[in-house]
Structure 1
Amino acid sequence: MVTSTAAAHKTPQQQTRVLIVGNYCHDVLMQKDTVKAESLGGAASFISNVVNGMSVSCNLVSKVGEDFKYPVDFTPIVIPTSKTTVFHAYFDLAIHGNCHQDRVLKRVSACDPIRPSDLPDARSKFGMAVGVGGEILPETLERMIETCDAVFVDIQALIRVFDSVDGTVKLVKLEETEFYSLLPRIGVLKASSEEAVFMDVEEVRKWCCVVVTNGKEGCKVYWKDGELGIPPFLANQKDPTGAGDSFLGGFVAGLVQGLAVPDAALLGNLFGSLTVEQIGLPKFDSRLLQRVKDEVQRRKMQFLRCERSEYEPEFLKPDGHEQFHVSLGAAKSTPPFSIQARPWTPSNSPKETEQTPIPHYTAQAKLLASSVYEEPIQTVEGKP
């Protein structure tokens, strides 16, 4: 059952490994004023799915209305006086010169923002500010900075604004927001390649680590003294929705378990590639997850790193990085289920005993444009 009060949502006074902050959403795909698909949305849904799959302890603070209609692993705060945040994505079939399908994203309803008082009193090792509908307030991010050893922020939580008349989503320059002064106090700022143009990467990298995802090109990590490209994993793409969220979930899960930044980014790329291969909120096969966790543990033990009281990122590519990429790729190829072989007898021919693995997809419908977008959305100036 979901809880209706923030007080009931408070956690015991013990450190949580990961604190995820961002509202769940209802996403609706519209074409010619007709609903084509509906799905659970919000970056928090994809991120918690990955973090939970990697067996990393976490807490999630999310607000919804009483109309929230999806089962989730982490209980949200229900606000009886508010509706769940809803996004409508409108698509035009015309293809423009930039080779992207034109789309207008609108926030048609917004649940209450997440306030500092909604956050747990316990400290967290890693905090993740991943709002999509304006629910992350500057004072909430500041509170996360005070109570978390390191804070990771998705730039969409900072630069999205919404038209006062119809809720159309626009992007503004990061330096124009109230969050800009907090950048020197966060650990990592993540952006897609389309969102990255709304900040001065060369300036921001002086204050915090910047990670820019670029779909099938992998990602790039920037820090004060250098930068590093991280290779992607091959993927049979069916839907890019949520890839950036899953990347961030895998990236943080890797750091929590002791990986250096380049290795953690590889883990993020892996989960991004797994997400685009599925329709719906990805459901990760248990055998695949176990192989990935085994590879992460093996990689961690190579360095025998000690636990640290503070977040101390290691940006240089460690020895064996390329082999770790190969090992994760091999884990990704794990069949989706165990094939039970039967002993041959005259009554069952080889053709009868042969079984072909069937791809596994979640039954949940998925919106083709959700809370994280690989395509550009409208900017304040009306340009992608």
Structure 2
Amino acid sequence: MNTIREQALACRDAAQVVAALDSTAKRALLRDMAAALEAQTAAVLDANTRDMADAEAKGMQGAMLDRLRLDEARVVSIANALREVAELADPVGVVTRRETRPNGLSVERVRIPLGVIAMIYEARPNVTADAAALCLMAGNGVILRGGSEAIHSNTAIAAALKSALQAHGVPVAALSLVEDLRRETMVELLQLSDIVDLAIPRGGEGLIRFVAEHARVPVIKHYKGVCHLYVDRAADLDLALNLLIDGKTSRPGVCNALETLLVHRDVAEAFLPQAAQALRERGVELRGDERSRTLIPDMQATSDDDYAAEFLDLILAVRVVDNLDDAIAHIRRYGSDHTEVIATADESAAQRFVQAIRSAVVMINASSRFSDGGELGLGAEIGISTTRLHAYGPMGAEALTVERFVVRGEGQVRHPQSRV
């Protein structure tokens, strides 16, 4: 078995081949990767069954188990995400700015691939395909280091995708799956600053902090998603209820699910009882402040820890606030810069909310569940950045490129010398 350094070097060499592919070639490659994945659905599901059995035997449950699970519909969804990326605008070679300087130099800013991306993730087999698609579309090589709980699923998905690479004459090292899952091997990968251009961890807060603490390469960080819905005094309450139900109950174990409900005091009496009934019918446990419990007496008391928590479960923290500014102050204190939602018919309140909240995604009268690369037009999503460097929010193919300067001249020199 090659060392992780040898594996990374091979990926870097293969990335140069990918970088030279034109848009037509990359799109054809991604379409064939999707077809290969669907053709090997049975093998992928068989591998996933093994992972699920091992995970359940180890006591995994809830959100983590749901993220690991695959079925035919989810495999089709993964394949369709590959096809969606294939239809995206190719970011490589795009000129984002062009100007002519007073000395006649033509200065362009042009997007180029980053190079080699290390993707570190856990319990999400779909990331194997999503990351591969986005990295290849952006002209990069990718090193995939999934968690041990999904090793069989990841290996089966990667094998399907590599068969398409091979058919297109692209070195399979461009999509490199790390099979040595020892922690020290991951640390070594994260310290290959002369080979790896960017690391993207995707998983629980513990994984992301581990990567950030041990990496010597740039890291995209997203620790957790503490997402809020603020129901304003001017909200359409039926609309707000729909946002709440979708945001909390459609898939509670994901980072764009709602974790806290803030309600303006003027509408709390009308909104909270119907909201509590609807949520409890769907199995949601409510934890509220004193004013919330005045309206819903059997609601469990909440704490600062609850307001800061990413439950990833059917649990919701609730608070009644006096006004918009109180809602903003609460979000600034407990939020995670991920996604925040306001329900209101007051445009000035909406604008104030947008200006005051610095989160990567801000929603006005729309569900937090739309905070997703696919839903926002990026095709698949390789991750979400809440660190504002170099990307912010859901990341697609364009976020896996960088701008460089291309300067065209006609012999200009900065310091002309005297003629002899």
Could you tell me the TM-score, scaled by structure 1's length?
A: 0.31
Higher relative contact order (CA 8 A, sep 6+): 2
Could you tell me the TM-score, scaled by structure 2's length?
A: 0.29
Looking at secondary structure, tell me which structure has more helix per residue: 2
Looking at secondary structure, tell me which structure has more strand per residue: 1
